[in-house]
Structure 1
Amino acid sequence: MCSGLHASTGVVVESSSDSVVDRVYEQLKAMAVSYEFKPGERLNEGDIAKRLGVSRTPLREALNRLKTEGFLRFAPGKGFFCRELDAHEIFDLYELRKALEVSAARLAIGRAKDADIDALIAFLDRTGPDPGERSAVELVELDEAFHEGLMAMSDNAEMLRVLRNVNARIRFVRWIDMDRINRSKTQAEHRAVLTSLKARDEAACIELLEKHIDRRLDQITAAIKEGYAQIYMLAKRPLAV
């Protein structure tokens, strides 16, 4: 990373090229997560660079980062492609998510502070069991916030980093799946997990969490079919800038 020393403050600041790459990365990641590029679609780098107002160099850096993180795929001699909505890949990611969260919960049994557990319970109280007028996108954001808050109590920053990557890669399917989920039941399960965590009942906490996260392959396949229908029934959307 290139950096420099600010003349007047003495503070080390990132170079402008770093900030450009970060901005392009975040924009492209949002497009990839929401499938603004259709599954399997080849990305036109020249068109994207023009739309985002950047040169090819920061664009290519951002694309390579997204490829490494699993949001795009690359074919030598052909370029970058939007990843497919693949049921087996999503199923594998759900298994990874469950393994991560269960491992984190085991750590949290011994590490979580009662005050942090109470704060997450208060978060459930504030957001409530009623979905209200919230969109699926907003509901998934609340659900991710709960699970990341639970993960944070493991006091393992690397596990939390991996969970955030997994959450982003399954987010589109979760938006679709959210319409099938009973939020009152989900919130009750969240509360039960926290109650068992506060009681330091590892067996109950793990059992509740595993049951809560589990998704069968047929459930994922059905959500993906609906996702494809939504992607291709919508009029072609312009790239967000």
Structure 2
Amino acid sequence: MNTPLLELQGLSVHYGSLRALGSIDLVVYPGELVTLLGSNGAGKSTTLRAISALVPAHGQILWRGGSLAGVPAHRLLKLGIGHCPEGRRVLSRQSVVENLMLGAYLRRDTAAIHTDLERCYGLFPRLAERRSQLAGALSGGEQQMLAIARALMGRPELLLLDEPDLGLAPKLVGEVMGALAQLHCEGLTLLLVEQNAEAVLEIADRGYVLEAGQLTLQGPAQELLANPSLRAAYLGG
């Protein structure tokens, strides 16, 4: 393969005396959809937060082969790293379109912003129908679509997504996963944190499994999907 877009080397995170993440290695190549699986408290969200410089970490985080040490969180989007955190975090008193435009706040290419806005509406038609509504009036699934679309408005090269289907009805899970699969087909690189192993492994290229802050399994998505120990732990058999 070519040079990794993102590489973690011996990444570890401590919260006081508690080790949340212990010396993990992970790579994401351009154009891949890579998933990070694990139960609650395994260290999945902490991994994304460390990449985004939201928590202090030890080890190396490399972007296109260069170290991100000392790069603050607000500069990462300029470098091409977008982050859609767990919990949606939309601005409830702002409209759908205002939330989306906030995602493009670093950009000055007006025509391209309009193109990307229409692209987001095509990806999530419900947002187009509700573009003038307050984000707080949307359903949970619609707010998740809005959070993903807002992150896309920054035109990231790599999009970090944290539990995008958390708490969603099965039909909406299918819609969100379908949209992510489409973005993957269009060439966007994604690192996706999930507990819903079956849904994400169906669309991913590769996966890693975290348990108690340690990587315990990794490999092509279809191999993980067929792995007996992973199926027993996450797929019920």
Max Rg structure: 1
The TM-score bracket by the shorter chain reads under 0.3
Higher helix proportion (structure 1 or 2): 1
- Higher RCO structure, 1 or 2 (CA under 8 Å, sep 6+): 2
